[in-house]
Structure formats: C-alpha cells, structure tokens
Amino acid sequence: MTYRSRDSSEKRDRTKAELLFAVVSAFVLLIVFRAAPGTYVRSGFTVQNDGVNDSNIVLTDSGLGLAVQYSETIKLFGDSVPANLNVANYTDIVASVKDTFAFFYVDSIEKSVFYTKVKLNMTNAIAVAPHKFCDISPPIDCYLHADRGSDGFLVSFVNRVNITKRTLMLNNGVCSLAIDSVINTGWLFPSQCHMEKDTFLVVNSIDAKKVVLRKVYSSGDKIQVVGTAEVATDVGMGGAFLLNCSVSYDRVGNILVAWARGSPNGDKYINYRFFSRNLTGGPTGSFIEKSGDRAFSFYDDAGIAPYGEGRFAVAFWNASGIFLHRLEIEDGHVEQIPKQISNKAGARFCAASSNSQFLIVAVKGDLDNSGVVSVEGYRYPIKGETLGTPEFFVYSDPDVSVDTTDRYKSAVNCAIDSSGDFGVTWSSNLHTKGSLWGTTFSYRGVRFKRILDLSGRIGDSSGR
C-alpha cells in the first residue's frame, strides 16, 4: 500500500486551486474584453455569490459551474406617449422621483401644458393618464422647457399676451411669474436647467440684442428671481444677432451659458461664457464651426451637459454632421477639446444630459446609415475627468422616420436619472413621442465542461 504525505496532498490541492483560479480569471477577462462598444444593447457579466458557495465556483464530475449576474440596457417604453390629441410642439422630458420620468407637452386646443408620468419596472413601464400642469396662450414658438427641483417641477415658456406682446413665463403648477417680455419683434428665446434643491437657472435672449441669466427659486406658492446677470449684448451690427440659448450647471459651482450668434437666415456660431454659482461672469469664447444651417430653428441650438467639476460637453450640428466639443475650466483658464462625433450630413437638432456615470446625446438623423431618419445618439461613460468610448442607440422606432424639416417642432430632449435609466422625447404628427431605457439584471448559471482534468492540465471548454 502506498501512502501520500500530508504535505504532498496539500501541495497538490493548492496546485489545483491555483490553476482553477487562473482558469476562472481568464474566462472573466475573456467576457470583459469581448464586450464590444457601439451596439444597440449593452450587456455585461459580473460574478455573484450563488447563495450556497461563497467562491461562486462548483467543481463536479461534469465540469465547472459559475453563478453570474447578466445585465443589459433595453427599451422599456416607447414610442407613443399617452397624451391629448393636439400637441402644438416642444415636448420635454424630466427625470422625476426614483424610476419615474415625466413627459411635458403643450396642447394647442385646450391651451394648457400637460404632463404624463411613466414608471419603470424591471421589464416594462406603466404610464398614467395625462395631467394638466398649467394654462398657456402659446405662440407657435413657445419654447417649452421643464425641470424638477426638490419641491416639484418648474416649467418655462413663451406666452402670447396679445398680437404684439410675448412674455417669458415661469410656472411650478401652483403659481406663475412673468420675468421678461418683448413687443413687436417676437424674438424671445429662453432655456433653463435645474441648479440645486429648489433653485433653477433660466437664460433668454431679448430682441436678439441681449442675453440674460437668472437664478430662480421655486417652491410651493412662491417663484422668485434671486439673482440676475447680463451674459452678452449686441446691437445687431453687420447682421449679428443673439439667438437661441442654453444653460447648464456642473453641480459643484460652475455655470456654462451658450448662445447662437449670427443671422437667423445666415451663418451662426456657438458662443459661450462661464459663471460662478453667485453669477459672477467669467471667461467667454466661441467655436470656429458654424452652427445649424441658413435657416432658423425655434429651439435650443446646443445641448449642454456636465461630466465633472468645471467640465462640460456641448452638442451642436451643422451641414457636415454632429459635434460634441468639451469645455474645461480650471483657475479661470478654459480649454477647448473639439470633436466631431458624426460626419453624416442631414443630422440635426441636439440634446444632452448626464449623471455622475454617463452622458447621453440625442439627435435627429440617420447616424448608422440605415436609410431611416430616426432619433439616435450615444451614451458615453464618464471616466474620471474624461469621456469613454460611447455606445450607439436608436431611441425611436427604427422603422418609422421622424421629421427634421419643421423648424417649429424641431425639439429633441433627453434626461438621465441618478441610477442610469434614461429617456428621450420628440414630437411627430401632433403626437408626443418618447422612449425610456433601463438596465435589467438576471442571474444565469454558466457551465464549462472539461475545463480541468484529473492531472490538472487545461482541457477544452464548451457550452453555457
């Protein structure tokens, strides 16, 4: 009879364990490196406890087993949002409470702003009936925007007081406040974003000669302007006008305002200026590429979203494609990092949104050369102080073309919540359209046969 020493047995056991660990590690790395960016559906694997074996590994006579978590980003809702029948234009989307998004739109017949809430579950979504938010007398270019603070929503829009006068209105569903107006010209082009808690930022151009930034407090029966700053002025010499505006906040202390400067029916360029949280003006500049085309679109020309402290991405379009320029400010110095993310002609109208992990961009166009003009875009992972490799998404029904010619219904908007669920909205044929996307998780057993034979040599593997 042959006896093995205890040391020899332990050494053999350790050798098998080390080899087993190496095989499992190699397989996990294989999964990671096979995940290719640029797909419509994002999938990933992470090893999880199986509830029985802390190591997540089961070695039997038939092979090796793993308990893994499988995740994928899928479309949970879309494309038609339950709404009244008469959508004038300009739909917006807001990430509301956890797992809930709100679609806002204007009903031109009932002369009201409505919203529809959609609640996401693990595999689907539930939409509630449309709810009236406030009254409006909308001109065709009402510029509806919506955001949510700690105590509820704030919407801004242009209201038609009479045949010559238009007023920029704020409304939180309880009360309203008029903060600016124009007579005769009709040139009143606003935008907004949430700042923090119950504070918002509202920006607008007046008569195409001045851009003004306001800090607004909104809660319950009170809306109050708590700060004002002049962004830029121009008397229109040489056909230069101050047109559509955008604003964003990095959640730390930096504000970025962007506006189009040029002729409504000619060349236009994106200008920008930084502000501190107390609205102290900072550096200003512009991009060298033209913005839009030689026609005027009645909504934001640029989408802005932060991706870190003092770091903003600015999305805009022109005849040559889509741009996503980055602006980074530190100690008063601004660095421009230009990038064209699509060179497909015909794409237009941009929006952007972000949380601490992702930045999303939405446009109208045929970025993937499918032959169908859709609402499409990218999701960028935020990697420290930069943006990672994006994934491509077709947000709308890929078989149904969307309109890119109506300059009064040109808006596309998007939003992402803190958990990474995101949504996009647009209008089409007097209907509110939109889609919501979320990450679902499931557990799957993965088994590899003949991965390890009795002699400790690596064999083949097959099956899942």
Tell me the average pLDDT across 153-178.
96
Contact present, 10 and 18 (Cβ < 8 Å) = no
* pLDDT at 460 > cutoff 50: no
Percent of the chain at pLDDT exceeding 70: 77
Q: Are residues 371 and 254 in the same domain?
A: yes
Is 165 inside a domain boundary?
Answer: yes
Query: 0.85 cut: is pTM over it?
Result: no
Q: According to the model, what pLDDT value does residue 88 have?
A: 56
* pLDDT at 24 > cutoff 60: no
Q: According to the model, what pLDDT value does residue 121 have?
A: 85
Query: How confident is the model over 196-216, as pLDDT tens digits?
Result: 999 999 999 999 999 999 999
Q: Are residues 226 and 357 in the same domain?
A: yes
Q: According to the model, what pLDDT value does residue 325 have?
A: 98
| 3-state DSSP helix/strand/coil % of the chain, to nearest 5 | 5, 55, 35
Q: Are residues 289 and 338 in the same domain?
A: yes
Q: Are residues 242 and 340 in the same domain?
A: yes
Is 141 inside a domain boundary?
Answer: yes
6 φ/ψ angles, rounded to the nearest 5 degrees: -65, -40
Q: Which domain holds residue 115?
A: 76-437
Q: Are residues 187 and 54 in the same domain?
A: no
Q: According to the model, what pLDDT value does residue 236 have?
A: 64
Is 463 inside a domain boundary?
Answer: no
Task: Give residue for tokens 């770091």.
Answer: 311
Cα–Cα distance, 156 to 169 (Å, whole number)? 6
Query: How confident is the model over 333-351, as pLDDT tens digits?
Result: 999 999 999 998 888 899 9
* pLDDT at 42 > cutoff 60: no
CATH number assigned to the domain comprising residue 215: 2.130.10.10
Q: According to the model, what pLDDT value does residue 218 have?
A: 98
* pLDDT at 461 > cutoff 80: no
Token pair recorded at residue 243: 């047109």
30-34, 209-213, 350-354: the lowest-pLDDT one: 30-34
Q: According to the model, what pLDDT value does residue 85 have?
A: 62
Q: How far is CA 399 from CA 203, 306, 372, 394, 406, in A?
A: 37, 32, 7, 10, 20
Q: Are residues 198 and 303 in the same domain?
A: yes
State CA 266 to chain mean position distance.
29
Query: How confident is the model over 364-385, as pLDDT tens digits?
Result: 999 988 989 999 999 999 999 8
Is 144 inside a domain boundary?
Answer: yes
Q: Which of 326, 410, 431 is nearest to 362 (CA)?
A: 410
Token pair recorded at residue 333: 């110095």
Is 464 inside a domain boundary?
Answer: no
Q: How far is CA 316 from CA 179, 301, 338, 348, in A?
A: 28, 6, 11, 8
Q: Are residues 167 and 50 in the same domain?
A: no
Tell me the average pLDDT across 262-275.
95
Count of structural domains, the chain: 2
Q: Are residues 164 and 285 in the same domain?
A: yes
Q: Are residues 327 and 416 in the same domain?
A: yes
* pLDDT band at residue 44 using 50, 70 and 90 as cut-offs: very low
DSSP calls for 344-407 = -TT-EEEEEEE-SSEEEEEEEE-TT--SS-EEEEEEEEEETTEE---EEEE-S-TTS----S-T
* pLDDT at 4 > cutoff 60: no
State CA 457 to chain mean position distance.
50
Cα–Cα distance, 67 to 202 (Å, whole number)? 50
* pLDDT at 65 > cutoff 90: no
Contact present, 45 and 66 (Cβ < 8 Å) = no
96-110, 249-263, 294-308, 319-333: the lowest-pLDDT one: 96-110
- Any residues with CB less than 8 A from the CB of 173 and at least 6 apart, and which? 133, 134, 152, 153
Cα–Cα distance, 313 to 344 (Å, whole number)? 20
- Strands 391-394 and 422-428, bridge-based pairing: unpaired
Q: What angle do CA 101, 158, 275 make, to 5 degrees?
A: 75
Q: What angle do CA 162, 208, 247 make, to 5 degrees?
A: 100
Contact present, 171 and 113 (Cβ < 8 Å) = yes
Which residues is 93 bridged to in the sheet? Answer: 103
Task: Give residue for tokens 């890929």.
Answer: 398
* pLDDT at 396 > cutoff 60: yes
Q: Are residues 90 and 66 in the same domain?
A: no
Q: Are residues 37 and 104 in the same domain?
A: no
Neighbours of 33 (CB within 10 A): 8
* pLDDT at 395 > cutoff 80: yes
Is 462 inside a domain boundary?
Answer: no
* pLDDT at 457 > cutoff 60: no
* pLDDT at 64 > cutoff 60: no
Cα–Cα distance, 271 to 262 (Å, whole number)? 10
Tell me the average pLDDT across 293-315.
96
Q: Are residues 285 and 217 in the same domain?
A: yes
HSE-up (13 A, CA, CB side) for residue 78? 23
Token pair recorded at residue 23: 């095989």
* pLDDT at 243 > cutoff 50: yes
Is 107 inside a domain boundary?
Answer: yes
State CA 197 to chain mean position distance.
20
Q: According to the model, what pLDDT value does residue 3 have?
A: 33
* pLDDT band at residue 118 using 50, 70 and 90 as cut-offs: very high
* pLDDT band at residue 139 using 50, 70 and 90 as cut-offs: confident
Is 457 inside a domain boundary?
Answer: no
The pLDDT mean for the chain works out to 82
HSE-up (13 A, CA, CB side) for residue 137? 8
Q: According to the model, what pLDDT value does residue 83 have?
A: 74
Q: According to the model, what pLDDT value does residue 400 have?
A: 85
